[in-house]
């Protein structure tokens, strides 16, 4: 039998490809959009607005080409058109999101605070935009600015600013104490007239550290500062209670009601554990994560359940499911409603809408936004009757989140959420339509899903946070059903009937006891040094392979992928050399000294509040990321800006010895028995010589009202190599002019290549004679940006400039790295991988010798 070939007929494969083309075009566009946003976030500087507009025009042209190619549905050109259209769609999506993200960033950056307005007394009128946060120091609030004046003249400020309103004594830039008016009980929606001092958002920049400036950028906050409420300032004035921000006002009322019931006078008993649980209940209902005690957060992170203890995607998804089930059940009771709109459709819409309302009430945080967008995308696909393959559904949800918030790509939660969902889609039988039946099957499905997510996310968690909770699998098996099915519904039900809050707190107590017990296990948490990105990507691929539904002999191939991140060790100095890393901890000192096999921490930075200090916030994460085990912690003296983080550091480094001029300070001596630092103490590590130059023994034994005078002065000298002099670094704490003169009078060896500027650049130190004797190449200042003491003083900087000494200050540099192998160079963290949202200061004009 012969066959007849019809003219212009396409092969069956081409017809199939053409039929599937729109789906592939959409997937290519979505993938390109995510990639375009990701690439734009890597820009160190923003382009001009017209440049992004030109890129957007090119994206529109590419879309037109895709539309033209989509008409090729028949003939031999169909397959070629499909491939070309997919490539063009990929490029169009890339260019579109690159340009749109850039245009949004340009518009946002134009609303920044003018540098000339920093540190000036401004009279601002605005509305409290979020529920205020109270602590022992005062109140923090977010203000939507309506108007502002400087010396009576109108000025432009960013739309949203964050303020601290301190109570009690407060020192200004001149160091003068000023008694501030106690902040009243502020309520969201109130209009206030306040005298404030502002500065641009400026966070600490440390290796592997938190990007505060990105967080503020995402929050839409372009200035931070504090309220001036002293006797010489124009008093704060409450102008009116407005109708603005009703959701925040309701959140504040509910939060305060929870804390009053569970932590107020009417609470039964005075059990500290019960009182701390009140903060967890408040966080579950209103999303106020600051209500949770820091010690509880440490337990939650150690057991891997931190994602459950505030408003998370899991809570919102559960709420959507419960709301959809309730609405569907009620809808089916009405024949008229079912004829108008099918019950499944009504339940689906109601679930998403009510979940969005819950997310809005919980503060509309970034995780909540992601979840609502994902739910809305899936609901729209189902309502439209489309049945896309799960990879395209996953990619569409991912792209929708990126379009709404491109900077979410820089957040760990984004990757944890989407990798977890993608792995469950790829490995779960539910994705194929075979759901579990019966209680045993559902229990097995829960166990399997938790195991799969643990396998897949452990390498990613290690890459993002540098730690693995070894008890997390067990803790989540117990915590996920208990928190989502018991604790959270009771906490939400308390909004309607307050006694349910007490039941929710009661139900949390056994879980808290279990988590506390698990957190105390030896090796409950494994900390590994931060590996490079390539090793982390290999480990994530290995985790995905372990979780994949393939034979175990194939999964065994994941082990070589996991090995680099598990065995990684950061490079250390060569024998005879040493490195210094001056951490960016604001106003204070904290310098990490590393030799080939030893490490010393000189000072531990300041305490910021009762629950926050440089040790917990900066130094402990930094030491863990570097895989560092300290041999010695030396506290130069007992001032709080040098010892504030010591407790956290010593708790994380139990093997470290403690030394310093801390006298008989009971709180510091209670941390660990301390050996006084005395001039003449010497030791050698790996060929590097350490020597204490100050204080003298009689001074260390005498009582003095000025701790600065007893600061430990530590000299470090590398081993000599060849004819060149051995590099030297000198750490001097807060010594003042008298101590500098005493060092010179007794002929101490103060000449150094690197000098830690005495007393953060105060006018009381850095005398010309001392600087001429030290003759450093580089002088390093550790001080906070626009700190209230005015450090470093302009006249002090002029002395360094006159001698040709390069001054590097932490406000401009971030964490500063120096090595005795290259003593003429210093590395600044702010110069590594810069991003356009980061605050930059103009460089100082100094001569480098």
**Hey, what are 795's tokens?**
């006249």
pLDDT in tens, 201-230: 999 999 999 999 999 998 899 999 999 988
Residue 252 burial by CB count (10 A; 0-12/13-18/19+): exposed, middle or buried? buried
Q: Is the pLDDT of residue 30 over 70?
A: yes
Q: Is the pLDDT of residue 4 over 70?
A: no
Given this model, what pLDDT does residue 847 score? 37
Parallel, antiparallel or unpaired: strands 682-685 and 688-694: antiparallel
Question: CB neighbours of 726 closer than 8 A, spacing ≥ 6?
Answer: 717, 718, 719, 720, 820
Measure the CA–CA gap between 364 and 259, rounded to whole angstroms. 21
Given this model, what pLDDT does residue 277 score? 87
User: What's the CA angle centered on 466, arms 372 and 394, to 5 degrees?
Assistant: 30
DSSP state of 707: G
DSSP state of 722: T
Given this model, what pLDDT does residue 502 score? 92
Q: Which has the higher per-residue pLDDT, 554 or 445?
A: 554
DSSP state of 292: S
Q: What is the mean pLDDT of residues 87-95?
A: 91
Token look-up 């108008």 returns 340
pLDDT in tens, 687-704: 999 999 999 986 554 555
**Hey, what are 253's tokens?**
């009322």
Q: Is the pLDDT of residue 174 over 50?
A: no
Q: Is the pLDDT of residue 189 over 70?
A: yes
Least confident of 66-80, 123-137, 294-308, 393-407: 66-80
Confidence of residue 388 (pLDDT cuts 50, 70, 90): confident
Measure the CA–CA gap between 755 and 771, rounded to whole angstroms. 9
Given this model, what pLDDT does residue 848 score? 36
Confidence of residue 369 (pLDDT cuts 50, 70, 90): confident
Q: What is the mean pLDDT of residues 821-843?
A: 91
Q: Is the pLDDT of residue 81 over 70?
A: no
Residue 265 burial by CB count (10 A; 0-12/13-18/19+): exposed, middle or buried? exposed
The three-state (H, E, C) secondary structure of 249-272, written as one string: HHHHHHHHHHHHHHHCCCCCCCCH
Measure the CA–CA gap between 71 and 61, rounded to whole angstroms. 16
Binning the chain into helix, strand and coil, the percentages to the nearest 5 are 50, 15, 35
Measure the CA–CA gap between 586 and 583, rounded to whole angstroms. 9
Q: Which has the higher per-residue pLDDT, 502 or 384?
A: 502
Measure the CA–CA gap between 364 and 372, rounded to whole angstroms. 10
Measure the CA–CA gap between 85 and 691, rounded to whole angstroms. 70
Name which of 65, 60, 55, 61 is nearest 98 in CA terms: 55
Least confident of 31-35, 152-156, 425-429, 507-511: 425-429
Q: What is the mean pLDDT of residues 6-27?
A: 48
Q: Which has the higher per-residue pLDDT, 428 or 450?
A: 450
Given this model, what pLDDT does residue 1 score? 38
Least confident of 80-84, 722-726, 727-731: 80-84
Rg of the chain taking only CA atoms, in angstroms: 30
Q: What is the dihedral of CA 790, 791, 792, 795, to 10 degrees?
A: 40
Confidence of residue 251 (pLDDT cuts 50, 70, 90): very high
The conformational region for residue 834 under phi > 0 = left, psi -120 to 50 = alpha, else beta, is beta
Residue 690 burial by CB count (10 A; 0-12/13-18/19+): exposed, middle or buried? buried
Name which of 227, 262, 252, 47 is nearest 133 in CA terms: 252
Given this model, what pLDDT does residue 382 score? 85
Least confident of 239-243, 599-603, 665-669: 665-669
CA torsion through residues 785, 788, 792, 793, sign: positive
Q: What is the largest CA-CA distance in the chain?
A: 115
Return the axis-axis angle of helices 77-109 and 49-69, rounded to nearest 10°: 160
Confidence of residue 171 (pLDDT cuts 50, 70, 90): low
- In a 3-state reduction of DSSP, which class is residue 806? strand
- In a 3-state reduction of DSSP, which class is residue 835? coil
Max mean pLDDT range (306-310, 554-558, 679-683, 842-846)? 679-683
Confidence of residue 127 (pLDDT cuts 50, 70, 90): very high
Name which of 173, 168, 174, 228 is nearest 196 in CA terms: 228
Question: CB neighbours of 598 closer than 8 A, spacing ≥ 6?
Answer: 631, 685, 686
**Hey, what are 733's tokens?**
């704490």
Name which of 195, 309, 191, 291 is nearest 249 in CA terms: 191
Given this model, what pLDDT does residue 263 score? 75
pLDDT in tens, 461-472: 888 888 889 998
Confidence of residue 79 (pLDDT cuts 50, 70, 90): low
Looking at the DSSP bridge assignments, the partners of residue 190 are: 241
Measure the CA–CA gap between 509 and 274, rounded to whole angstroms. 7
* Spatial contact of 776 and 755, defined as CB atoms under 8 Å apart: yes
Q: Is the pLDDT of residue 802 over 70?
A: yes
DSSP letter string over 329-341?
Answer: HHHTT-HHHHHHS
Token look-up 């590393």 returns 594
Given this model, what pLDDT does residue 595 score? 97
* Spatial contact of 113 and 199, defined as CB atoms under 8 Å apart: yes
Confidence of residue 458 (pLDDT cuts 50, 70, 90): confident
Given this model, what pLDDT does residue 268 score? 55
Name which of 608, 616, 603 is nearest 707 in CA terms: 603
- The pair phi, psi for residue 688, each rounded to 5°, is -100, 130
Given this model, what pLDDT does residue 363 score? 80
Given this model, what pLDDT does residue 264 score? 64
Q: Is the pLDDT of residue 269 over 70?
A: no
Given this model, what pLDDT does residue 33 score? 94
Measure the CA–CA gap between 82 and 80, rounded to whole angstroms. 5
The conformational region for residue 537 under phi > 0 = left, psi -120 to 50 = alpha, else beta, is alpha
Q: Which has the higher per-residue pLDDT, 754 or 413?
A: 754
Q: Exposure pattern of 197-234 as b/e (b: 16+ CB <10 Å)?
A: bbbbbbbbbbbebebbbbbbbbeebbbbbbbbbbeebe
Q: Is the pLDDT of residue 18 over 60?
A: no
* Spatial contact of 758 and 734, defined as CB atoms under 8 Å apart: yes
Average pLDDT, the chain: 86
From the centroid of its chain, how far is CA 526? 20
User: What's the CA angle centered on 523, arms 522 and 526, to 5 degrees?
Assistant: 160
Q: Percent of the chain scored above 90 by pLDDT?
A: 54
What is the strand order of the sheet 688-694 is part of? 682-685, 688-694, 713-717, 728-731, 754-756, 778-781, 806-809
**Hey, what are 139's tokens?**
């109140």
Name which of 660, 655, 654, 674 is nearest 604 in CA terms: 660
Residue 348 burial by CB count (10 A; 0-12/13-18/19+): exposed, middle or buried? buried
Q: Is the pLDDT of residue 316 over 70?
A: yes
Measure the CA–CA gap between 610 and 616, rounded to whole angstroms. 12
Distances (CA, A) of 813 to 202, 241, 389: 12, 44, 49
Helices and strands of the chain, counted as H and E runs: 30, 29
Confidence of residue 429 (pLDDT cuts 50, 70, 90): very low
Measure the CA–CA gap between 744 and 737, rounded to whole angstroms. 11
Least confident of 294-303, 632-641, 691-700: 691-700
Name which of 684, 694, 840 is nearest 770 in CA terms: 694
Count CB neighbours of 386 within 10 A. 11
User: What's the CA angle centered on 150, arms 148 and 152, to 5 degrees?
Assistant: 90
Measure the CA–CA gap between 218 and 214, rounded to whole angstroms. 6
Given this model, what pLDDT does residue 845 score? 55
Q: Is the peptide bond before 836 cis (omega within 30 degrees of 0)?
A: no
User: What's the CA angle centered on 406, arms 404 and 410, to 5 degrees?
Assistant: 135
Least confident of 269-278, 617-626, 650-659: 269-278
Alpha helices in 618-774 (DSSP H): 620-626, 640-643, 646-652, 666-671, 697-701, 737-745, 768-774
Confidence of residue 610 (pLDDT cuts 50, 70, 90): confident
């Amino acid at each position: 039998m012969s066959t007849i070939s019809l003219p212009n007929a396409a092969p069956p494969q081409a017809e199939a490809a053409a039929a599937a083309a729109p789906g592939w075009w959409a997937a290519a566009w979505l993938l390109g959009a995510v990639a375009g946003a990701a690439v734009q976030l890597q820009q160190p500087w923003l382009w001009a607005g017209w440049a992004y507009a030109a890129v957007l025009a090119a994206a529109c042209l590419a879309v037109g080409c895709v539309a033209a190619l989509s008409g090729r549905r028949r003939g031999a050109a169909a397959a070629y058109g499909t491939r070309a259209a997919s490539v063009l769609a990929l490029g169009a999506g890339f260019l579109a999101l690159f340009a749109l993200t850039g245009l949004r960033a340009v518009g946002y950056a134009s609303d920044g605070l003018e540098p000339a307005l920093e540190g000036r007394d401004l009279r601002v009128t605005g509305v409290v935009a979020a529920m205020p946060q109270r602590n022992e120091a005062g109140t923090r609030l977010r203000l939507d600015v309506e108007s502002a004046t400087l010396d009576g003249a109108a000025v432009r400020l960013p739309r949203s600013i964050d303020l601290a309103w301190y109570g009690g004594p407060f020192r200004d830039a001149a160091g003068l104490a000023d008694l501030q008016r106690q902040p009243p009980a502020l309520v969201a929606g109130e209009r206030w007239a306040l005298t404030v001092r502002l500065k641009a958002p400026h966070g600490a920049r440390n290796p592997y550290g938190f990007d505060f400036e990105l967080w503020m950028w995402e929050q839409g906050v372009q200035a931070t500062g504090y309220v001036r409420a002293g006797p010489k300032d124009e008093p704060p004035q409450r102008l009116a209670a407005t109708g603005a921000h009703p959701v925040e006002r309701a959140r504040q009322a509910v939060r305060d009601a929870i804390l009053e019931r569970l932590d107020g006078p009417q609470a039964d008993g005075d059990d500290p554990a019960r009182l701390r649980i009140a903060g967890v209940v408040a966080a579950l209902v209103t999303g106020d994560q600051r209500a949770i005690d820091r010690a509880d957060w440490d337990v939650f992170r150690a057991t891997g359940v931190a994602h459950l203890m505030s408003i998370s995607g899991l809570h919102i998804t559960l709420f959507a499911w419960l709301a959809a089930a309730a609405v569907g059940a009620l809808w089916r009771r009405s024949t008229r409603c079912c004829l108008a709109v099918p019950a499944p459709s009504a339940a689906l819409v109601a679930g998403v809408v009510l979940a969005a309302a819950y997310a809005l009430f919980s503060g509309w945080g970034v995780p909540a936004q992601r979840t609502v967008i994902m739910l809305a995308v899936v609901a729209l696909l189902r309502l439209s009757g489309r049945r896309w393959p799960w990879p395209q559904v996953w990619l569409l949800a991912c792209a929708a989140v990126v379009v709404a918030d491109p900077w979410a790509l820089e957040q760990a939660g984004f990757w944890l959420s989407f990798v977890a969902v993608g792995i469950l889609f790829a490995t779960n039988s539910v994705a194929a339509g075979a759901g579990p039946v019966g209680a045993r099957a559902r229990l097995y499905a829960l166990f399997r899903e938790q195991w799969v997510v643990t396998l897949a996310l452990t390498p990613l968690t290690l890459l993002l946070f540098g730690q693995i909770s070894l008890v997390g699998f067990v803790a989540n098996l117990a915590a996920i059903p208990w928190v989502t099915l018991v604790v959270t519904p009771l906490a939400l039900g308390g909004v309607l009937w307050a006694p349910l809050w007490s039941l929710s707190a009661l139900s949390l107590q056994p879980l808290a006891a279990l988590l506390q017990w698990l957190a105390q296990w030896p090796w409950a948490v494994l900390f590994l040094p931060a590996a490079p990105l390539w090793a982390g990507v290999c480990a994530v691929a290995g985790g995905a392979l372990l979780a994949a539904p393939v034979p175990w002999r194939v999964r065994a191939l994941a082990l070589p992928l996991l090995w680099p991140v598990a065995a990684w060790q950061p490079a250390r100095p060569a024998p005879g050399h040493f490195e210094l890393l001056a951490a960016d901890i604001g106003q204070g000192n904290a310098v990490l000294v590393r030799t080939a096999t030893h490490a010393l921490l000189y000072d531990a930075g300041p305490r910021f509040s009762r629950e926050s200090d440089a040790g917990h916030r900066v130094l402990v994460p930094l030491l863990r990321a570097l895989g560092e085990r300290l041999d010695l912690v030396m506290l130069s003296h007992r001032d709080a800006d040098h010892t504030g983080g010591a407790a956290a550091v010593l708790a994380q480094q139990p093997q470290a010895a403690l030394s310093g001029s801390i006298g008989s300070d009971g709180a510091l001596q209670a941390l660990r028995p301390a050996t006084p630092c005395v001039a003449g103490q010497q030791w050698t590590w790996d060929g590097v010589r350490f020597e204490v130059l100050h204080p003298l023994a009689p001074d260390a034994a005498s009582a003095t009202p000025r701790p600065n005078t007893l600061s430990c002065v530590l000299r470090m000298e590398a081993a000599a190599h060849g004819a060149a002099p051995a590099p030297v670094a000198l750490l001097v704490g807060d010594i003042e002019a008298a101590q500098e003169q005493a060092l010179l009078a007794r002929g101490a060896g103060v000449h150094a290549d690197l000098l830690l500027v005495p007393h953060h650049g105060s006018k009381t130190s850095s005398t010309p004679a001392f600087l001429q004797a030290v003759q450093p190449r580089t002088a390093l200042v550790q001080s906070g940006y626009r700190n209230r003491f005015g450090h470093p003083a302009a006249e002090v900087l002029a002395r360094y400039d006159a001698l040709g000494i390069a001054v590097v200050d932490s406000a401009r540099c971030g964490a500063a790295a120096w090595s005795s192998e290259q003593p003429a160079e210093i590395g600044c963290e702010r110069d590594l991988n810069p991003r356009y949202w980061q605050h930059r200061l103009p460089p100082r004009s100094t001569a480098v010798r």
